[in-house]
Amino acid sequence: MALFKLVLGAGAISFALASGCAITAVPSENDLVDALTDDLSFAQKQIIETKISDWFGGVKVTLADDVFSESSQVSIERKAHLDERRLPIEGRHNNPAFTFTLLTDGKDCVLRNDQTGDIEKIAEMTCLAEAK
């Protein structure tokens, strides 16, 4: 009887762990259109900042409170290399701008890294297709 409970318990724990780590499907890119948000909460903005930060290798990223409210795309430049006088080295910088696009398939919002093509679903966020 004790062996039966041990096996049953191990099976239940394995199932719970596996279901907790389930990956939600990202909509097909063919079904996605540019999207806007109408009311982005602080928590949702933090989720977007964290995802972009992850794509930048952990560098902290701060976005405006109204990000994606007027445009489906946001561009971010890395900080320029500065000399001891806090001026750009050689008077300019060559840091590329990185762009990210908010997309929707009508029910889910996703964020696309335009440089890599990676797409990440943003949980518990509503967005509307951008009128063109």
pLDDT category, 92, cuts 50, 70, 90?
low
Q: Determine how many CB atoms are found less than 10 A away from the CB of residue 42.
A: 8
Contacts of 105-109 with CB under 8 Å at 24 or more apart are: 105/27, 105/28, 105/31, 105/32, 105/33, 106/31, 108/27, 109/35, 109/37
- Lowest mean pLDDT segment, chosen from 28-32, 101-105, 112-116, 127-131: 28-32
Q: Quick: pLDDT tens for 52-84.
A: 999 988 989 999 999 999 999 999 887 777 888
Domain ranges of the chain: 27-129
